[in-house]
């Protein structure tokens, strides 16, 4: 009798059985490397963005501090550079100025009959060579009495700050009120004027045009409220149309050097 051989068939895979992909060890290492590189690049970008933001903040702070000190780099050697410095109670007012080469300049001033805009005729009191300067304008006041008006003394200082060309000059100008009660206002005891001048950030100007350093124009005081003794408690100011009392300082260019 011949032996019987039983052949068992392998069960067919179920259609619902989950199929899982198979990876080689090399593929797994490559995937992990790519993921690690991507994570590193992302972290590096975030770190660089943070450092860039911090750097921008530092640059802005440095610019602000330099502006407060009146320090600046020459951005365009052919332009006038000017910036107003900080000073306690704006006394004296100070300005750093760079005058470009190619011509000489003149510092001018005018007492009273100060226009709202434009450059009036004035007194030319100092000739300036191209270079770096520190200008200051200080004012002291004396109250008038029954026989005289209040008097203001403006002190103009010019200091050449280039080490190899250092020089200094000073001019004092005395003026009294003519038409407007503004040097020491009778009601408020304050100086009633509006001042126009360069700002606390660096400005570049055309060297062929005058540069106004200081334009003080008298203003009218309007008292709104008084105490029982008649003293002014609150008040406002009103501008005066046309030329009026005040003081003005500017720098004008001379003809270009041939």
pLDDT score of 121: 95
Do 172 and 154 meet the contact criterion of CB atoms below 8 Å apart? yes
Residue 18: pLDDT band with limits 50, 70, 90 = low
Angle at 139 between CA 136 and CA 145, to 5 degrees: 170
What are the helix (H) ranges across the chain? 25-69
pLDDT score of 35: 84
pLDDT score of 193: 95
Q: In angstroms, what is the C-alpha Rg of the chain?
A: 38
| Chain segment 90-126, per-residue pLDDT in tens | 889 999 999 999 999 999 999 999 999 999 999 999 9
Looking at per-residue pLDDT, the higher value among 171 and 90 belongs to 171
**What percent of the chain clears pLDDT 90, i.e. is strictly above it?**
57
Give the mean pLDDT of 21-28. 70
Residue 27: pLDDT band with limits 50, 70, 90 = confident
Residue 51: pLDDT band with limits 50, 70, 90 = confident
pLDDT score of 76: 96
24's tokens: 């080689």
| Chain segment 125-152, per-residue pLDDT in tens | 999 999 999 999 999 999 988 778 899 9
Strand pairing partners for 159? 134, 168
Cis peptide preceding 195, ω within 30 of 0: no
Residue 67 pLDDT exceeds 70: no
Exposure string for 63-84, b = 16+ CB within 10 A, e = fewer: eeeebeebebeeeeeebbbbbb
pLDDT score of 66: 55
Average pLDDT, the chain: 86
Looking at per-residue pLDDT, the higher value among 56 and 161 belongs to 161
Residue 17 pLDDT exceeds 80: no
Rounded distance between C-alpha atoms, residue 223 and residue 230, angstroms: 11
pLDDT score of 156: 97
pLDDT score of 237: 92
Residue 256 pLDDT exceeds 80: no
């Amino acid at each position: 009798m011949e032996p019987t051989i039983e052949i068992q068939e392998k069960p067919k895979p179920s259609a619902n059985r989950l199929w899982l992909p198979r990876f080689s060890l090399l593929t797994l290492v490559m995937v992990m490397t790519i993921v690690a590189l991507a994570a590193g690049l992302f972290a590096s970008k975030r770190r660089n963005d943070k450092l860039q933001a911090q750097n921008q903040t530092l640059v802005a702070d440095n610019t602000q501090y330099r502006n407060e000190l009146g320090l600046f780099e020459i951005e365009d050697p052919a332009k006038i550079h000017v910036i107003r410095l900080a000073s306690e109670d704006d006394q004296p007012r100070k300005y750093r100025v760079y005058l470009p080469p190619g011509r000489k300049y003149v510092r001018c001033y005018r007492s009273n009959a100060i226009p709202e805009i434009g450059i009036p005729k004035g007194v030319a009191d100092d000739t300036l060579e191209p270079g770096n300067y520190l200008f200051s304008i200080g004012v002291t006041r004396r109250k008038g009495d029954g026989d005289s008006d209040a008097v203001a003394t403006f002190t103009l200082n010019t200091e050449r700050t280039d080490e190899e060309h250092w020089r200094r000059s000073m001019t004092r100008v005395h003026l009294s009120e003519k038409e407007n009660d503004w040097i020491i206002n009778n009601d408020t005891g304050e100086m009633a004027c509006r001042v126009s001048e360069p700002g606390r950030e660096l400005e570049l100007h055309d060297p062929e045009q005058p540069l106004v350093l200081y334009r003080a124009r008298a203003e009218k005081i309007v008292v709104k409220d008084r105490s029982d003794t008649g003293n002014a408690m609150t008040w406002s100011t009103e501008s005066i149309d046309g030329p009026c009392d005040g003081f003005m300082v500017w720098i004008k260019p001379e003809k270009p050097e041939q």
